[in-house]
Structure 1
Amino acid sequence: MTTDARPAEQENTRTPRSGLLRLLGPAFVAAVAYVDPGNVAANLTAGARYGYLLLWVLVAANAMAVLVQYLSAKLSVVSGRTLPELLRDRLRTPARLAYWGQAELVAVATDLAEVIGGAVALNLLFGTPLFTGGVITGAASMLLLALHNRAGVRWFEAAVVALLLVVVAGFVSGVVLAPPDPAEAAAGLVPRFAGADTVLLAASMLGATVMPHAIYLHSAMARDHHGAVHADRTRRVLRATRLDVAGALVLAGLVNISMLLLAASALRGVAGTDTLEGAHAAVLGTLGTGAGLLFAIGLLASGLASTSVGAYAGAVIMQGLLRVDVPLLVRRAVTLVPALVCLGVGVDPTRALVVSQVVLSFGIPFALVPLVRLTSDRALMGEHANRTGTRLAAAVAVTLVVALNACLLYLTFTG
């Protein structure tokens, strides 16, 4: 996008609708990471086992996600650089390599969830063997990444957003067919746990909602979408970014909450609903063929979109921290291997998805802490540095994540 050098006094004029629409998009691509198959597994498991008990986790996680994704985009808009690039310049080589190692582990865990989810969806729809479904999911994601390489970032954004809308239709429709109990849902907004397993699920839901790789990715997507932002346009772009993030994350939050509400209202107490296959069978039996078909299609769209976005995020992390440019398609082929190995040796797909989200939960502080520090740095951000209220909200978010993970570790090793 070319730089607009209009005078600063025009900054406060109303943005034409067509101009505003051109500024939207990056957050909707990042939002795909918030509705990937790992979310499906974690949210359905929580709802089927414990009803509305953990609804508060999704609400809190989505509120955190809005703040985090806005800070990620703001960092790039103001500085013109991605979060990994800025960290590269501030870390010594050993620390930078260690940081890249944990970020790469997060990217692998992300890809594991997304490919497995796509494979399960193909199995549900067509009876495709899981390993073959994983290969097909990986090949489809290569086509999406090839679209990015050949047609540019805008066409890639459009394709991913189209898949996101399919995900919305696939999962929100279930709640329309099986409305939740309002009183029980309201009770689920009160923070509480019911044993070690609910803490594990909460960490999984948090990791699946506030995803570390989406934090790295969004800073790159904002840079690629907006290009170099002249100082006179910064406020305008940041206003559009707030709208972009709010719209995208509200949509993603609606999908996540719908998953849990569907499981709590229609699948609770039904045998086998703690697996994706069992949940699909229960939806078929409870709500009918149409609902089951929409569920499987939504899961497939989720896997295809999120695995492409995950591969893109991994490339952003490696290039930014190590200055190593690996072609997207090559990286896609390499990172496909762990997921195919899991599928090939018969690892339980749903369990692998839930555990992968726990791994992501542990990666959140490593992305979130430096993001908050950088966006609070007045030397880097100037007048757009975080204000006191934003810093306090971010500190609360980091504290909650660290406390939940510490609790999870304690219960895991002492329970």
Structure 2
Amino acid sequence: MPQNLNDEQSRAAAPPAPSALRDSPAAAAATASSAGPSIQKHRILWLLGPALVAGVAYLDPGNVASNMTAGAKYGYLLVWVVIAGNVMAWLIQYLSAKLGIVTGKSLPQLLGSGIRNRHARRAYWLQAELVAMATDLAEIIGGAVALNLLFNLPLIWGGVITGTVSMVMLAVQTRRGPRVFERVIIGLLAIIAIGFSAGVFISPPEAGSVLAGMVPRFEGTDSVLLAASILGATIMPHAIYAHSALARDRFEVRASGLTTKRLLTATRWDVSIAMLIAGSVNLCILLLAAANLQGVEGTDSLEGAYAALEDSMGMVVATLFAVGLLASGLASTSVGAYAGAEIMHGLLHIEVPLLARRLVTLIPALLILGSGFDPTQALVLSQVVLSFGIPFALVPLVWLTAKAGVLGEYRNRWMTTAAGVTASVLLIALNVTLLVLLFGG
């Protein structure tokens, strides 16, 4: 991981965190009695998990649709977008987790208390809520398509089943706590990784073409649209909101004897592992399509890609792809509902039970599934909506983590803040370019 991001380990002379933060769970752990080195070494494994849960958002059906479409339509052209998005995602998710650990509060909570104007707070909540709903839309549709491919179920019933299973998973999180929920999500993450990566090992891409795809470039408006879709699916706003809450919830119940510095070290490992898995799988999806589906008719949809994989690589690879898509929908929709509830609670101070929220956000997805609208197109467009929500989550995150009044000695160094600002500017510039291309001809 970049050296400049290890800023938390050398701040002995920095001013202490403000008194408002000293009562937080994270600050309490920082002053707890020290456990022995061997105990701390053992516990660092126990601390892994929140980033893996948040990382599922980077492997949702929207990612699959965007990457498959990009590979089938443009070959290796947008490989660089997947790689760049994953590098930015590492920094963003680490900053989000750090914010939750040090303050004991989520990003929506801090924004809810920081935005004093009631109307401004509601407007901010509205855009965040639309992003969360777009996320949920993609994930329910992805699960429904997978069930249709595997069992020939009608899309509407596939959506109902996906939503029902996600409600069961949310009940596990509510009643059994974050650790059990993490284990369920990580198990699904393993299925996702196998399902989407197997085809690349059976039919590997050309190394020279992959290297050529690392050169930043576009080919027309549609390629910019797909790039925005890939970034919206990779750097998902709800994952930024959720990770700070996951870290907060997880470490409210941690054992004493672990310092904030130790927790942040474990978090860097957690984020690195999660982003390595997510980035590798996303790249595999694009490479699978580029190597096997480019130029094949009908591969601009998930159903068409499944049929093309079956024809070119056999039933096993196609079935693994569909199973991975199903696991992706089930895991990511649960995390999306968790994020949505946190957004509402943090910004509006309204408590909404996770299961009730699951029912409400399920309705738009079922309406689209029942309307006959092309599900893959709905997935890709939902990711574009997400890309426009990124600045509203990312800019406040970079700003808050750079403030000594919020994070005290654990605030960002200037190089970390510069990297965050650079990522924000690049993402905003891409979205502006997309608007100009779409509406300016």
TM range (shorter): over 0.9
| Residue 403 of structure 2 is aligned to residue 380 of structure 1 | no
* Corresponding residue to 2:334 among 299, 308, 312: 308
Q: Which amino acid aligns with 2:74?
A: Y
Under a length normalisation based on structure 2, what TM-score does the superposition of the two structures give? 0.91
Percent identity, please. Answer: 59
**Distance (whole Å) between structure 1 residues aligned to residue 76 and residue 35 of structure 2:** 46
**Distance (whole Å) between structure 1 residues aligned to residue 74 and residue 398 of structure 2:** 34
| Residue 80 of structure 2 is aligned to residue 56 of structure 1 | yes
Aligned-residue RMSD, C-alpha? 1.7
**Distance (whole Å) between structure 2 residues aligned to residue 174 and residue 396 of structure 1:** 35
Please state how far the C-alpha of 1:18 moved relative to its aligned partner: 2.7
**Distance (whole Å) between structure 2 residues aligned to residue 354 and residue 15 of structure 1:** 47
Verify the 8 A CA contact 2:40 2:258 in the aligned structure 1: no
Q: Unaligned regions of 5+ residues in structure 1, if any? A: none
Verify the 8 A CA contact 2:29 2:260 in the aligned structure 1: no
Query: Cα–Cα, structure 1 residues 317 and 231, in superposed 2: closer, same or farther, change >3 Å?
Result: farther
Matched residue, 1:31: 55
* Corresponding residue to 1:264 among 290, 299, 307: 290
**Distance (whole Å) between structure 1 residues aligned to residue 438 and residue 295 of structure 2:** 25
Verify the 8 A CA contact 1:55 1:188 in the aligned structure 2: yes
Verify the 8 A CA contact 2:225 2:384 in the aligned structure 1: yes
**Distance (whole Å) between structure 1 residues aligned to residue 101 and residue 172 of structure 2:** 25
Deviation per residue, 1:354-405 (Å, 9 max, x gap): 0000000000000000000000000111111000110111011001100000
**Distance (whole Å) between structure 1 residues aligned to residue 326 and residue 99 of structure 2:** 33
| Residue 201 of structure 2 is aligned to residue 183 of structure 1 | no
Matched residue, 1:241: 267
Matched residue, 2:109: 85
Q: Which amino acid aligns with 2:105?
A: R
Q: Which amino acid aligns with 1:316?
A: E
Please state how far the C-alpha of 1:414 moved relative to its aligned partner: 1.7
Q: Which amino acid aligns with 1:79?
A: T
**Distance (whole Å) between structure 1 residues aligned to residue 379 and residue 158 of structure 2:** 16
Deviation per residue, 1:305-337 (Å, 9 max, x gap): 001110010001000011111110000000000
Query: Cα–Cα, structure 1 residues 217 and 7, in superposed 2: closer, same or farther, change >3 Å?
Result: closer
* Corresponding residue to 2:359 among 308, 318, 333: 333
Find runs of 4+ consecutive structure 1 residues off by over 2 angstroms.
1-8, 10-18, 228-232
| Residue 101 of structure 2 is aligned to residue 111 of structure 1 | no
Verify the 8 A CA contact 2:85 2:235 in the aligned structure 1: yes
* Corresponding residue to 1:199 among 224, 227, 230: 224
* Corresponding residue to 2:251 among 226, 234, 249: 226
**Distance (whole Å) between structure 1 residues aligned to residue 75 and residue 370 of structure 2:** 33
Deviation per residue, 1:213-253 (Å, 9 max, x gap): 00000000001111178897100000000000000011000
Q: Which amino acid aligns with 2:343?
A: I
Q: Unaligned regions of 5+ residues in structure 2, if any? A: 1-24
**Distance (whole Å) between structure 2 residues aligned to residue 288 and residue 181 of structure 1:** 20
Under a length normalisation based on structure 1, what TM-score does the superposition of the two structures give? 0.97
SS of match in other structure, 2:299: coil
**Distance (whole Å) between structure 2 residues aligned to residue 50 and residue 4 of structure 1:** 50
Please state how far the C-alpha of 1:174 moved relative to its aligned partner: 1.0
| Residue 343 of structure 2 is aligned to residue 343 of structure 1 | no
Query: Cα–Cα, structure 1 residues 291 and 151, in superposed 2: closer, same or farther, change >3 Å?
Result: same
Matched residue, 1:365: 391
Deviation per residue, 1:126-169 (Å, 9 max, x gap): 00000010000000100100111121111111101100110000
| Residue 69 of structure 2 is aligned to residue 45 of structure 1 | yes
The aligned runs of 1:139-178 (5 Å cut-off) are 139-178=164-203
Verify the 8 A CA contact 1:80 1:228 in the aligned structure 2: no
**Distance (whole Å) between structure 2 residues aligned to residue 228 and residue 319 of structure 1:** 20
SS of match in other structure, 2:297: coil
Query: Cα–Cα, structure 1 residues 318 and 289, in superposed 2: closer, same or farther, change >3 Å?
Result: same
Verify the 8 A CA contact 1:20 1:240 in the aligned structure 2: yes
Matched residue, 2:238: 213
**Distance (whole Å) between structure 2 residues aligned to residue 232 and residue 299 of structure 1:** 38
Verify the 8 A CA contact 2:32 2:257 in the aligned structure 1: no
SS of match in other structure, 1:96: helix
Verify the 8 A CA contact 2:30 2:260 in the aligned structure 1: no
SS of match in other structure, 1:180: coil
